[in-house]
Amino acid sequence: MSAVRKPLDDAAHAALDVEAVRRDFPILSRTVHGKPLVYLDSAATSQKPRAVIDAISRFYCEENANVHRGVHLLSLRATEAYEGAREKVRRFIGARDARECVFVRGTTEGINLVAQTWGRSRLRAGDEILITGLEHHSNIVPWQLLCEQTGARLVVVPIDDDGSVRLEAFEAALTPRTRLAAFAHLSNALGTILPVEEMTRAAKARGATVLIDGAQAVAHLPVDVQALGADFYAFSAHKLYGPTGIGVLWGRGELLAELPPWQGGGDMIKRVTFEKTTYADPPARFEAGTPDISGAVGLGAAVDYVDALGRDAIAAHEASLLDHAAAALARLPGLRAIGTAAARAGAISFVLEGIHPHDIGTILDREGIAVRTGHHCAQPVMDRFGVPATTRASFGLYNTHAEVDALVAGLGKVRELLG
């Protein structure tokens, strides 16, 4: 299981008032095709609370200016907001220092940053990169590109029939040539929670560097990067009730300090001459150009919102939703769940016998129900289970048992029309 931090305050012990939470999300009051919206696609992107929307609007209305280097009031305020968001992220993930938190466009860019800085400078022909069969394409393709560039080899740990990664299989795949182990904290396609602490410990014991893809995990599980023991942890704001286009790459401070720049441009330098450029210390070294300032402000507001609700309360509510969904879906004739690991969170994937997932998604949409259909940017997972695609219902802190029941009723209608 994931590392669990102690609750930040008494709010973590309180039960989640879901109806009050729902009122915080303006989009949840709309209708789709004349039906109340049932949004079950948070694994693709979460909806945004009014607190996040207002924080971004307020920034543009009252503080908009470029950050760093400016001496006028608006620039100073914008810089305070931008760097203040970095400090909020530091606390949220348990980092030692805010300078370990690099703002990037999202998990994908964070992983590519590691591949093209740490990877290109350190890997050689014959080295191995170890991943699992559960990975999102964003934690596969960057390493394939890196292997092409360096001559390293990609090694994949297989997944079991229940969609889990056995620790023994992971340990068996580690060799003296394993230089990097990169794996998801929580599977986007199946909802499987990986034993990331144990995997990290095993990889580090063999001398490997460890990167964890936390894109799905941060919205569902408490995360403490120091307790996890990894070297890098990447996540996206838009899965955490924040805006699109911004995320975080956390890296151990001493390791970030050793890495070359990711991109060149303004604000990532100490001094530039035509003969030589010296680079800024992290995180500025990896944040060339004007950053997504409003995005950082929105991410900070999202962190505040989630912390105020209490992450333990959120996790308990979502576990109840997942249990209710799994039990209800299991009663539907012809439904096969894809991924039934004991440790799961956030999502449930399934197929209906004789009905293509895209048809399921289309009919459910006419009922106002938004689910995701396809390969979920995890085609190797689909290949492993012998299906071209699945239907995935994914949950957020704003979903209700009644919405799960609406999904089940909608699937009953699918069976009536197409079964």
Q: Which sequence positions are flagged as catalytic?
A: 377
**CB distance 200 to 228 below 8 Å:** yes
Distance CA 378, CA 384 (A): 10
CB count within 10 Å of CB 157 equals 22
Distance CA 136, CA 155 (A): 15
Distance CA 358, CA 293 (A): 37
Query: How many residues are recorded in the chain?
Result: 419
Q: Taking the CA of residue 378 as centre, how many other CA atoms within 13 Å lie in the half-sphere pointing to its CB?
A: 30
DSSP 8-state code for residue 386: T
- For helices 293-309 and 50-58, the axis angle rounded to 10 degrees is 150
Cα–Cα distance list, 254 to 111, 324, 338 (Å):
18, 45, 41
Q: How far is CA 79 from the centre of its chain?
A: 26
Distance CA 131, CA 181 (A): 6
Strand ranges in 255-364 using DSSP code E only, listed in sequence order: 269-272, 277-279, 335-338, 347-352
Helices assigned H by DSSP within 94-186: 107-114, 120-122, 141-150, 167-173
Q: Is the bond into 357 cis (omega within 30 degrees of 0)?
A: no
Q: How far is CA 276 from the centre of its chain?
A: 38
Give φ, ψ of 392 to 5 degrees. -120, 125
